[in-house]
Chain A
Amino acid sequence: MAFLKVENIKLEGLAACVPQNIERTKDYAHISKEEQKIFTFGTGIEERRVAPKHICTSDMCYAAAKQLFKDTNTRPEEIDVLLFVSQSPDYFLPATSIILQERLGCSKQTMAFDINLGCSGYVYGLSVLSNLMNMPHFRKGLLLCGDKSSFSPSYTDKSTYPLFGDAGTATIISKDEKASPMFFNLQSDGKGWESIIIRGGGTRFPYSAETTKKKQVAPGIERADCNLELDGMEVFNFSLREVKPNVLKLLEFADVDINNVDYFVMHQANKLMNESVRKKMKIPIEKVPYSIHKFGNTSSASIPMTMVTGIKDELSSKKNKVLLSGFGVGYSWGTALLDIENLVISELIEIE
């Protein structure tokens, strides 16, 4: 049972970056006006940010980290651990975190590595980084989290293309003996490995002319093996089945009453899905911020993106008990419960 309790660590600062370029659901010409309307009604997505060719996840995380260093008066050399969580690295190898270590001006003493996770990535990343930070000599850690999800869907696949937005985020955590403990409940179920998948381009099915050949899979769904594939119904079923018990078990482990949680920040998968989960747990709507309408599903960046664009003022002014829940590709899912106080949050950064 992956229940974790981490002491002496606090969230110090948070920044998020998106590309300037906007794509709107109403301009997605592959589906009819009527389908566009139903899509927005169900998913909540009106528009999302799509990065041009020259902007990668690392570029967005870099811009977020730069701004955050400035806003928290952090020198890059102070970073002991740099963790990059993404499923859209710059290269197969080397790890993108190491490229970013040098680019950001962090010292050679920095421990840098990548974690390959999507929707659950922010919660997993936070748990790994905060645990490492409890090493005696560590002071500050940098969590870079995000995806350029737009690199993989096929334009002619209505089940994936209009869902995903690009974003990169940076979070600084630091040692603080007065910090309240953070709690985590982390889970995995490889039975769902095919529900969200890019089949071609890895070592199982290396990139070739074959993997780029488009095939008609269903009405409105034409894609190749190198494109993202998503079984919406299975993922929906998984989320309704697993998120609530995961959250309730964490609250029990932490001995916290659900009514004492100020904000529930959920991965921004799909409005209908999140609203169903919210209603199942009887959480009032004002405690559940959203960013999906303006930014789509931003993968591992969705939780920090929602904090930056939805509850910035609340998180930067007073003490809040916040629950973060990420769930999806893998399947992998997890929840974090933490007290956030005087968090430095940068204004949303846009790059072109």
Chain B
Amino acid sequence: MIDENEFVRLLENEFEDVEEGSLKPDSSYREIPNFSSMYALIIIAFIDNEFDVLLTGEDLRSTETIADLYAIIQKKLNK
């Protein structure tokens, strides 16, 4: 699996208004400018497409930072 920094870069590419290098692993993804429920769907779609891991609404509610997302993917992949 790709490392955490690579994951942050890939996630940045998914959002229209996010500049490259502006997000860090400990950034709260909900604080991305104009974050909305549509962004949550974009995150679910991206993770499903990239890792074949399907996050639930509950999974997302339990996360805050991009590192949390990365950790939950790793956990699900190792199951």
Contacts and interface: CB of A to CB of B under 8 A. Distances in A.
Contacts of B55: 237
Interface in A255-306: 270, 272-273, 275-276, 279-280
Contacts, number: 56
Contact of A240 (B37, B39, B48): B48
B45 A35 contact: no
Contact of B60 (A233, A241, A280): A233
Contact of B34 (A34, A232, A234, A275): A34
- Choose among B41, B48, B56 the residue with the greatest number of A CB atoms under 10 Å from its CB: B41
B37 to A, nearest CB: 6
Contacts of A237: 44, 54-57
A35 B36 CA distance: 8
Interface string A155-172: 000010000000000000
B57 A280 contact: no
Given A41-B38, A42-B38, A231-B57, A236 B44 contact: yes
A159 B37 contact: yes
B12 to A, nearest CB: 16
Contact of A42 (B41, B49, B56): B41
Nearest to A236: B41
Contacts of B37: 159, 232-233
Contacts of A122: none
A6 B36 CA distance: 45
- Choose among A34, A159, A237, A241 the residue with the greatest number of B CB atoms under 10 Å from its CB: A237
Nearest to B61: A233
Given A38-B39, A276-B45, A233 B16 contact: no
A241 B42 CA distance: 15
A347 to B, nearest CB: 34
Nearest to B33: A34
Interface string A226-257: 00000111101100110000000000000000
A276 B49 contact: yes
Nearest to B34: A34
B72 interface: no
Nearest to B52: A280
Interface in B14-53: 16, 34, 36-42, 44-45, 48-49
A273 B16 CA distance: 18
Nearest to B15: A38
B39 to A, nearest CB: 7
B33 to A, nearest CB: 9
A84 interface: no
A39 to B, nearest CB: 6
A313 B39 CA distance: 36
A51 to B, nearest CB: 26
Contacts of A39: 36, 38
A206 to B, nearest CB: 30
Nearest to B59: A237
- Choose among A39, A43, A159, A272 the residue with the greatest number of B CB atoms under 10 Å from its CB: A272
A197 B59 CA distance: 23
Contacts of A240: 44-45, 48, 54
Interface string A14-50: 0000000000000000000011001101110000000
Contacts of B36: 35, 38-39
Given A35-B36, A276-B45, 5 more contacts: A35-B34, A41-B16, A233-B56, A233-B60, A236-B41
Interface of A: 34-35, 38-39, 41-43, 159, 231-234, 236-237, 240-241, 270, 272-273, 275-276, 279-280
6 contacts: A41-B16, A42-B41, A236-B44, A237-B44, A240-B48, A272-B38
Listed from nearest, the 9 A-B pairs whose CB atoms lie closest are A233-B57, A42-B38, A276-B45, A34-B34, A38-B38, A236-B41, A234-B57, A240-B48, A237-B56
